[in-house]
Structure 1
Amino acid sequence: MSETNRTASSGQSGPVVAVLGTGTMGEAMARNIAAAGLGLRVWNRNRAVAEPLAGAGATVCGTPAEACRGADVVLTALANEKVVADVMDQARDGLAGRPVWMQTCTVSPDGGRRLAQQADRLGVPYVEAPLLGTKEPAVAGTLTVLAASPQREARELVRPVLEAVGSRTVWLDEVGQPSGLKLAYNAWVLTTVEGIAESLTLAGTLGVDPHMVIDVIDGSGLNSPYVQTKGPRMLDDDLDTPSFPLEAAAKDAGLITDTARAAGLHLGIAEVVSERLHLASDDGLGRADVAATYRMSRHAAV
């Protein structure tokens, strides 16, 4: 059935969207989708996590297949490639209407291509759409979406969803490229976080007020809102409410280094950052903000 017929029959002014995964990012996107006047169906492995979205007008469903039934767009906001693939297999019986699958999880370029092949097997159009941004821009609807699709018509079908969740969409030529760009972007983000943590630690160890590091960066050519946000949070130890959970950052760091190695690259800084984040996660900081890497000891072993 065409998008026009399906949305008209539902009484909605745009596509009906099924959001599979209502964690931090999925919930925020779902609320913005509902606020944009689009029909919304949601599923989460823990149903209690999805239930609050009923107050925003969502139909809360018990299975992925139920959520996808009658949807025009299926948006996956899940933890990793394996979980995404497993959930979409569970959704198979709800995909008879051939909704566009919009996949937002951070995966490797090969992972993006594998999921596109899965979409072919499921008989649905596929849009690879990893996100740039954390909790705050997700809530504000100002994410940047990196996108590609082997089906040109799918771009128009997901346009209202992209407009609801983000302020910018960057279209690339081929599936795999958005995931590659996302990993390159996250390599910079994670290097910046670790760099801030090390600079603040070094200043304090040398008897300098670490706040002065943030102060002298401010107004310089290397300043950024990210530095001015994460630095003070580190110094205030305001790290237990995550914008970007450290365990997710560690997963992405592993993707970056694994993908680089497979391409014949050795990224020295990324390797160290990945090690630091995995150590912090193993030390119980996985559910804190990525900036909680600052809590890790940097004192040399004697």
Structure 2
Amino acid sequence: MKCPPSWQPAPRTARRGRARRRRRPGLVRRTARRGHRRTAAKRRGRSVVPVAITGAAPGGPAPASRQEADHRTTGGRMTTVAVLGTGLMGAPMARNMLKAGMDVRVWNRTREKALPLREDGATVAGTAADAVRDADVIVTMLSDEDAVRAALTAAAPGLRPGQVWAQMSTVGVAGAQRLAALAAEHGLTYADAPVQGTRQPAEQGRLVVLAAAPQEARDALDPVFSAVGGRTLWLGEDAAAGTASGLKMAAVSYAVSLTAVVAESLALAKGLGLDPELLRQVITGGPLDNAYFQAKSKAILEGDFEPSFTVRNAEKDTRLITEAGESAGVRLDLAAAAGERLRRAESAGHGDEDMSATYFASFG
């Protein structure tokens, strides 16, 4: 019996195609989901990154929608942050927390440096203890380990067990370990969380946060790190090991040594009676060119030493770097030489200028 036209079977090739689709529905759905996630990530201005690295893609502002969502804790409550230290880095970081909708209290040993943040909406605390009282997260962004220790000691009357302390200053590996012990004395949950970046990335909220902290502290830390950084690189849960500060030492060693190389090369050209601009022309567009060389060489030749990272702080960091190298049995000749140049520049009166003022160490 012949089937009516509407009952005619589909051609064999079409049947095979349908069978293939029926056999692999999971693949189709997974592919669709992956495509949807990539499209959604592009709409939000973020790249898809590994799980351990969180944040917006480098080079663009953090999405407003993400900031608005992140400024709440898991309990739906506004995050209260105490920022101890409002200098070159601490002040812009505090402003970005305010922009993200957080309740920010600030304290600085020199009160006048904290007062401008009042116009941005921060509460300027009279004491460190007032700043930290009932805060969800305490952030320290100070010049060295001694300054951090002094600030936390001053804050002690306002501390309570269980508060999260994000230690974001550059204190070296051994310093981070000692501060972890101090946190334990006060019953604080310690996060070793130095940042990579200088004043401009701090102002833009584009720092890279290098962090180690217990998993249970991350709900409180994530909104803070998202406000100040473009990326957070999580390095485990054992903050007391100083792993994050170790990576910071490696990163700042690269930055300080590269700055010394740029400055010294320009100084040599000048000493040989050449226009240092010629060196820029040789490097530009070739395999040795990079954005850092362009920025620092331009600043040196224009005499622009407005600090992004001062000679004094860079010199301090070279001591921490060489200390870390010695503890690991690693010789760090470039970092040691860069430190010597920075000390000469500081002795010549350039301590508060940008570290590119190491240029002056080549003369006199």
- TM-score by length of structure 2 reads 0.76
Quick one: distance in 1 between partners of 2:92 and 2:162?
A: 25
* 8 A contact 1:257–1:274 mirrored in 2: no
Identity of aligned residues (%): 45
Match in the other structure for 2:355: 290
Say whether 1:255 aligns with 2:320: yes
Match in the other structure for 2:110: 46
* 8 A contact 1:246–1:290 mirrored in 2: yes
Say whether 1:231 aligns with 2:302: no
Q: Which runs of 5+ in 1 are unaligned?
A: 9-13
Give the CA deviation at 1:97.
6.1
Say whether 1:73 aligns with 2:134: no
Q: Which runs of 5+ in 2 are unaligned?
A: 1-72
Quick one: distance in 2 between partners of 1:59 and 1:139?
A: 19
Match in the other structure for 1:211: 277
**Structure 1 counterpart SS, 2:183:** helix
- TM-score by length of structure 1 reads 0.92
Superposition CA RMSD, Å:
1.5
Give the CA deviation at 1:98.
3.0
1:156 is matched by which residue type in structure 2?
D
Given the alignment, which residue of 176, 179, 183 partners 1:112?
A: 176
Match in the other structure for 1:87: 151
After superposing the two structures, state which structure 1 stretch, 193-202 or 218-227, moved more. 218-227
Match in the other structure for 1:15: 79
After superposing the two structures, state which structure 1 stretch, 164-173 or 252-261, moved more. 252-261
Given the alignment, which residue of 137, 162, 167 partners 2:225?
A: 162
Quick one: distance in 2 between partners of 1:68 and 1:108?
A: 24
- Residue deviations 1:77-104 (CA, integer Å, cap 9, x gap): 1111111112112111211263210011
**Structure 2 counterpart SS, 1:41:** strand
- Residue deviations 1:250-286 (CA, integer Å, cap 9, x gap): 0001111122123223211111111111121122111
Match in the other structure for 2:345: 280
Give the CA deviation at 1:296.
2.2
1:270 is matched by which residue type in structure 2?
A
Match in the other structure for 1:246: 311
**Structure 2 counterpart SS, 1:144:** strand
Quick one: distance in 2 between partners of 1:207 and 1:90?
A: 54
Equivalent pairs, count = 289
* 8 A contact 2:161–2:186 mirrored in 1: no
Quick one: distance in 1 between partners of 2:153 and 2:79?
A: 22
Given the alignment, which residue of 328, 331, 340 partners 1:266?
A: 331
Quick one: distance in 2 between partners of 1:19 and 1:179?
A: 19
How do 1:108-187 and structure 2 match up within 5 A? Answer: 108-149=172-213, 151-173=214-236, 174-175=238-239, 176-187=242-253
Quick one: distance in 1 between partners of 2:143 and 2:121?
A: 25
Quick one: distance in 2 between partners of 1:286 and 1:269?
A: 20
**Structure 2 counterpart SS, 1:79:** coil
Quick one: distance in 1 between partners of 2:292 and 2:358?
A: 15
1:167 is matched by which residue type in structure 2?
G
* 8 A contact 2:93–2:202 mirrored in 1: yes
* 8 A contact 1:70–1:97 mirrored in 2: no
Q: Which structure has the larger Rg?
A: 2
**Structure 2 counterpart SS, 1:254:** helix
**Structure 2 counterpart SS, 1:145:** strand
Match in the other structure for 2:257: 191
Give the CA deviation at 1:4.
5.4
* 8 A contact 2:205–2:227 mirrored in 1: yes
After superposing the two structures, state which structure 1 stretch, 167-176 or 48-57, moved more. 167-176
Give the CA deviation at 1:126.
1.0
2:234 is matched by which residue type in structure 1?
W
Quick one: distance in 1 between partners of 2:204 and 2:151?
A: 27
